[in-house]
Amino acid sequence: MDILYLLVPLSVLLVFAIGIVFWWALNHRQFEELDEKGQGIIEDKDG
C-alpha cells in the first residue's frame, strides 16, 4: 500500500508531461497537412 504514495503522484506528473508535449505539438503545427506529405511520395511529379 505504501507504493501508492509514490505511483499516484508519478502517474499524475506523467499525464501532465504528456499533455504539455501534446499541447506544444499542436501549437507548432506538427499535425498539419499529414495527408499531403504522404501523397507527395506516391504521386508522379515528372509526368
The answer to whether 31 touches 25, Cβ cutoff 8 Å, is: yes
Round to whole Å and give the CA distance between 29 and 40.
Answer: 19
For residue 37, being part of any structural domain is answered with no
Total domains in the fold of the chain: 1
For residue 8, being part of any structural domain is answered with yes
Place of cell 507504493: 3
For residue 39, being part of any structural domain is answered with no
For residue 45, being part of any structural domain is answered with no
Span 3-7, average pLDDT: 96
What percentage of the chain exceeds 70 in pLDDT? 91
Output the pTM of the full model. 0.65
For residue 31, give every residue at least 6 positions away whose Cβ sits within 8 Å of its Cβ, in sequence order, or none: 25
For residue 46, being part of any structural domain is answered with no
Domain range for residue 6? Answer: 1-32
Q: What is the total residue count of the chain?
A: 47
For residue 44, being part of any structural domain is answered with no
Confidence of residue 31 (pLDDT cuts 50, 70, 90): confident
For residue 19, being part of any structural domain is answered with yes
